[in-house]
Structure 1
């Protein structure tokens, strides 16, 4: 009969429960409360394993749960503090997102295990693990689960995790590398000694060796092999145990079975002085595997550090204006609105806008272009770029957390979470393949055992080792990581990893005109003002100024005023300098409304004003088009008051880039006048040019094309391009794009030159080819080696060497993408 737990006491250990209902566990259909996370964890384990009857028949309370878990939870709880989260947690609407450094990841199966286990937690919205970079991106609902709960779950399945910080992440990598080298060094030294003893027996180098000497050599070999098995090989057992605890299998399960079985068989043989021993095979097996894992570990780090090292360009300190003096502070302490001094030769510590001084900035780490960019008052500068010439002061626009460089790296992690179809297939295939390996190994043993073959056990071990699908698990993530690292070096930001795969299926490339194919630097070639004094408030002109001249000055000032609030590239042509405007102080704007892709409607000094595309203005003035070639009109109270001929120039590299894309159907989709679009299309030999398209017309065009089974790549840069960028199969924002367009795009070209498009397409094709090569090699090797292993031709150590070389070849093949 079960004991009775006093009210208010822990149901598991019987000690006073001071935590109330903080740690509940459902036992036999009833909720009971525990006093600490340790008791809760033990009780949950008892229930999960179907041992609930323990609580019905126990005669005394259990020992208190692991106090270490309670201590761990109290340490992790500090990460729930808002002040601490401010540095590394990002808001995603109602949810929160964090990037974690994860220790203990050894292969693709580790990433899959973490994703599946965290996804089971209530409140977890998304989990994506980048195996190559040893990072995890987690999105969660803070009302349902706290960050400490996420970190605790990671720890419970065997992975230490902390918020990603470049310095700590690098230290974590060096710690793992040091551990690999220790294990590898021990395995290498012991392998040489064991091999020496084994060779002596194989070739009888010491003359006729009697049974007693052989037993002695085997005992020494066992002594030398034991630390290799227990220490050097521990990385495989830990990974296998994690998988088994999560009720799944990974690539380290067959490896662990092979090592354990071979070692136990050797121990029994030494104790009984009968049978064969393969201690040299065990040592060589572990040694080769460790070499493979170490090289994979180093290659993956080398690929990811190209991106991570960008953060090292940001200086730790900055000179901030404080109480009239320049004070050195930590860059991460800077806030929006602070004033910062950057001297010549110093790296810019944070994103901001120049308030004083002129200089040239090296932004090659962002754009891939090494030509310095001229910076003047009012221009934006970015953290990590190098101030090459004069001293400048800048006003901080956002904290370091939201600096462009940090945003780029964060978006890259998000991109790695969106796996291409081929990656999902490879992950699924590798998990099924492990199960197949175990089944084939069991059948192999049964067959040779039924044939009374004394080597049945060792043949089975060879099958387990030779067919382990490590290379298959590395095929896709290694290629994607290397591809993203190379694109990042070229100044190309990939926001969705599966966009690379979709590019390879594209049939059409659609370009916006202004700012994408053209420079977006407009100038007014001609302006015509209507000599109608009724268009302005008064007909009295200043002394010495004709009425027509007065009307012209008034209309040019009004056009300058209306366009000054617009973000459209054409608006920059209507500067006070270009229109020779002296003052706009006489105008009072009562209302102002921008119709994206069309123009501006405003009420100024009681007059209804329109300025924008010819089609837009004429539709609101009910007048005929008598201004051929003019692409911008301005109307006041229903009368056209001015016409402007605004021109743009094609970017230098556009023609050569388009010539290289002859396999695609190219077209222009623009809001500009049809005659301007036709002129650009003619110069670039583009067959289809669609002008006068507002955002909804662009969207309809893309949808119509997609309904014809076409896959669209869309390039744009303006606010009006955001909807159509979101609708395209793959969207690309050029370097000078608006923030809204960049947010909607799948790929961002940080360099305004269009030749980066060719780089993206080429890399997409190469990446898909590498992934296919890797998968083909991994599967081909396993299928090729299987008959040799099953038939007993391969020894265990030969199988280990082949499997390790297979993984190394896959990783090496992927790193070729970075050349």
Structure 2
């Protein structure tokens, strides 16, 4: 006798004593897994239990697309449901949406233009390549459901971005593409065979009735291609016209229906030309180019778009009573304790409490060498524990995990389009209007001249000059470039940073934590009269125990003293009251000490009141790849800006290809120096890692935070390295140059092709089928050229 019973949610077999249960419609229900339990509880909590009464079949396993199931957009206004995907940015809310129906750059332009007019929406950034939109809005003025409705009104269906649903959406669109391309390709072969035979008289002298019969057969074969396969373009044109604008689909739609109606008329009246093979070939090749673009976009973006696939669904939570329980990873909260066994994936960002193991962080940094981590070290969700069991304390929920922040950063990056992209978008919209005007003028001229092919010449102009390739020129290259950077562990927070990197001629560097490894050790201790080394080290270690600066790890003591009124001065030092006395510890300028008076080579000073009690020499070692990286950047002017004393700065600068090295600088002085460089016309790339680097990072033309940077530095930077290594900086600059070259090549090709083909089309030398091939090949060449950036 079976011990299984159907899962109440999805209908799949579930054990009768399954631990997964939920109370639905007043009765306990048996469920098969955590996924179904989570969805059932969400439906009940939101008062939507009627779904189970009126559904006609079991739900898909683990599905949580309540929007499609119940067709109620208002459900997304529930704060509990928004917790998973809405982020608060001050008085604004921000969300990533998966948008279905995006086919080309014109769709992105249309969505941005229309949503920006909606009151309450502050910013809209559409990433056409990933079929996603980042929307920032004021919750007091508009609800999330209002945003989804606004998108629906212009013909686009949107859902909060979730990696698995986003992937399912892509597969659905891919199937639709394949069906439409397959039908168009099959019919094109049949129609081409018939019409080619007629054009070149391959069938010999045939009677008019037989010729007319072939026309009717071609019409029947062409009709489903026009009505089904070509529907993608008509929907795009309707969306644009309903929004009182034009896009690339408008001339395509006019060309298809113009040619089809003319062929239908000629077939019915048995007079005139028919170009059914041109219609089929036009739709087939245009669909083929868009399908190839669709696939290449997916290949380029799946690295970042699907990073959440590395996060496990469940986690082993250690309960207060010492028992282990399985729970959903997204339900873990700050300060929860989880157990991660050997070979398992770490579910969320956290700090190791117990255990030592090698962690594979390649999905974040692109470096496949495992990193050894132990108690006190931070680990990230999605990385793999390779050796022994770890006990980890959760630092933040899954929603705010690093891997989730990466996805948001990549989407936000597309909000700041490079100038060349803005110019291409503007030019493309004007160019479509120009194509329509030129086509109409061409028809009028040849009709006035009495040319019986005036209509077909105008159609050739519409087809040949369709600016699809121009619309793809910039976004396809940027998407591929950002995907390649993701593989290397480099995140762009602004897409236009790539463009600015090509103009950089000066690189400014912080020393500690950027050039050096941040592994400080205490080399020398100088103690003033009246104090012992044991005393000053105890006070120093007590103060530094409250500091997060890397230098604090150089000071340790077994018996720490209580510290009160502790304060941190960014770029200066720390202060506090120890044993009833005021102590300060930090740089010479912060403590007011003259280094020469106690120890010329010291770089950290301890004062009690107005008296210098001790001076310390704390040293750090260069990162292994620092010298090789700076050698690769030898064509740039390299400037070292450090808060360390000039003696230590000079010692490091002598071993590296650095043109200028300045020490003893406060954050304000670093900022002023970069401003001075910019005033002289230099374009500055600033590399830093600490809180004190935030002002200068924000002021540089492009700023870069290394992998061990503080959160403040990461927030101020335009580019973030996930690895502590600087070795990715030269490839970053090289790829920026390559991307600019590809964009220029794409735009030059797209514009050059249109300008070259236009005279042939207007003069009547270009037949419609020739225009079809030329236009399609132009788009395919642009996409193919961009994908070379992935290699």
TM-score between both structures, scaled by the size of structure 1 = 0.87
Deviation at 1:311, TM superposition (A): 1.4
Q: Of 121, 126, 130, which aligns to 2:127?
A: 130
Partner of 2:538: 557
In 2, the alpha carbon distance for the partners of 1:221 and 1:612 equals: 85
Structure 1 position 809 matched with structure 2 position 785:
no
Partner of 1:302: 299
Partner of 2:547: 566
Q: Secondary structure at the match of 2:72?
A: helix
1:691-730 deviation per Cα after TM superposition (whole angstroms, max 9, x unaligned): 1111111111122222222211100001100111111110
Partner of 1:649: 621
Structure 1 position 145 matched with structure 2 position 142:
yes
Q: State which drifts further: 316-325 or 718-727.
A: 316-325
Q: Of 599, 603, 610, which aligns to 2:577?
A: 603
Contact 1:609–1:637 (CA under 8 A) maintained in structure 2 = yes
Structure 1 position 770 matched with structure 2 position 742:
yes
Partner of 2:32: none
Contact 1:339–1:394 (CA under 8 A) maintained in structure 2 = yes
Partner of 2:25: none
Structure 1 position 96 matched with structure 2 position 85:
no
Deviation at 1:73, TM superposition (A): 11
In 2, the alpha carbon distance for the partners of 1:813 and 1:203 equals: 36
- 1:435-474 alignment runs, 5 A limit: 435-474=433-472
In 1, the alpha carbon distance for the partners of 2:657 and 2:682 equals: 21
Q: Secondary structure at the match of 2:599?
A: coil
Q: Secondary structure at the match of 1:410?
A: helix
Q: Of 693, 697, 719, which aligns to 2:691?
A: 719
Q: Secondary structure at the match of 1:200?
A: helix
CA gap of 1:503–1:260, structure 2 versus 1, over 3 A, is same
CA gap of 1:624–1:307, structure 2 versus 1, over 3 A, is closer
Partner of 1:590: 564
Q: Unmatched 5+ residue regions in structure 2? A: 1-66
Partner of 1:476: 474
In 2, the alpha carbon distance for the partners of 1:790 and 1:761 equals: 44
Deviation at 1:308, TM superposition (A): 2.1
Contact 1:531–1:552 (CA under 8 A) maintained in structure 2 = no
Contact 1:731–1:747 (CA under 8 A) maintained in structure 2 = yes
1:326-355 deviation per Cα after TM superposition (whole angstroms, max 9, x unaligned): 111111111111111110011111111111
Partner of 2:363: 365
CA gap of 1:338–1:590, structure 2 versus 1, over 3 A, is closer
Q: Secondary structure at the match of 1:417?
A: coil
Contact 2:588–2:595 (CA under 8 A) maintained in structure 1 = no
Deviation at 1:597, TM superposition (A): 1.1
In 2, the alpha carbon distance for the partners of 1:327 and 1:606 equals: 48
Partner of 2:48: none
In 2, the alpha carbon distance for the partners of 1:705 and 1:485 equals: 32
Partner of 1:790: 762
Contact 1:73–1:148 (CA under 8 A) maintained in structure 2 = no
Partner of 2:19: none
Contact 1:124–1:141 (CA under 8 A) maintained in structure 2 = yes
Report the RMSD for the aligned CA atoms in angstroms. Answer: 1.5
Q: Of 227, 235, 239, which aligns to 2:236?
A: 239
Q: Secondary structure at the match of 2:247?
A: coil
Which is greater in Rg?
1
In 1, the alpha carbon distance for the partners of 2:112 and 2:539 equals: 59
In 2, the alpha carbon distance for the partners of 1:641 and 1:200 equals: 101
Partner of 1:755: 727
Contact 1:73–1:152 (CA under 8 A) maintained in structure 2 = no
In 2, the alpha carbon distance for the partners of 1:616 and 1:165 equals: 49
Contact 1:590–1:605 (CA under 8 A) maintained in structure 2 = no
Partner of 2:429: 431
Structure 1 position 344 matched with structure 2 position 342:
yes
Q: Of 735, 739, 751, which aligns to 2:711?
A: 739
In 2, the alpha carbon distance for the partners of 1:720 and 1:714 equals: 13
Deviation at 1:72, TM superposition (A): 11
In 1, the alpha carbon distance for the partners of 2:165 and 2:130 equals: 13
Contact 1:618–1:625 (CA under 8 A) maintained in structure 2 = no
Partner of 1:52: none
Partner of 2:678: 706
CA gap of 1:72–1:735, structure 2 versus 1, over 3 A, is closer
Q: Secondary structure at the match of 2:597?
A: coil
Deviation at 1:664, TM superposition (A): 1.6
Partner of 1:30: none
Structure 1 position 313 matched with structure 2 position 294:
no
Q: Secondary structure at the match of 1:454?
A: coil
In 2, the alpha carbon distance for the partners of 1:571 and 1:499 equals: 34
In 2, the alpha carbon distance for the partners of 1:86 and 1:269 equals: 61
1:344-375 deviation per Cα after TM superposition (whole angstroms, max 9, x unaligned): 01111111111111111000111111111111
Deviation at 1:91, TM superposition (A): 0.4
Q: Secondary structure at the match of 1:291?
A: helix
Partner of 2:496: 498
Q: State which drifts further: 465-474 or 348-357.
A: 348-357
Q: Of 393, 418, 421, which aligns to 2:419?
A: 421
Deviation at 1:299, TM superposition (A): 0.6
1:581-606 deviation per Cα after TM superposition (whole angstroms, max 9, x unaligned): 3312xx33232111111112222112
Contact 1:591–1:604 (CA under 8 A) maintained in structure 2 = no
- 1:101-112 alignment runs, 5 A limit: 101-112=98-109
TM-score between both structures, scaled by the size of structure 2 = 0.90
In 2, the alpha carbon distance for the partners of 1:494 and 1:590 equals: 41
Partner of 2:587: 613
Q: Unmatched 5+ residue regions in structure 1? A: 1-69, 534-550
Partner of 2:245: 248
Partner of 2:390: 392
Contact 1:716–1:725 (CA under 8 A) maintained in structure 2 = yes
Q: Secondary structure at the match of 1:516?
A: coil
Deviation at 1:189, TM superposition (A): 1.3
Q: Secondary structure at the match of 1:804?
A: helix
Q: Secondary structure at the match of 1:355?
A: strand
Contact 1:592–1:601 (CA under 8 A) maintained in structure 2 = yes
Partner of 2:83: 86
Contact 1:476–1:774 (CA under 8 A) maintained in structure 2 = yes
In 1, the alpha carbon distance for the partners of 2:116 and 2:357 equals: 50
Q: Of 625, 644, 653, which aligns to 2:597?
A: 625
Deviation at 1:663, TM superposition (A): 2.2
Contact 1:501–1:768 (CA under 8 A) maintained in structure 2 = yes
Deviation at 1:199, TM superposition (A): 2.2
Partner of 1:402: 400
In 2, the alpha carbon distance for the partners of 1:145 and 1:748 equals: 33
Structure 1 position 333 matched with structure 2 position 321:
no
In 2, the alpha carbon distance for the partners of 1:136 and 1:280 equals: 38
- 1:488-527 alignment runs, 5 A limit: 488-527=486-525
Contact 1:559–1:611 (CA under 8 A) maintained in structure 2 = yes
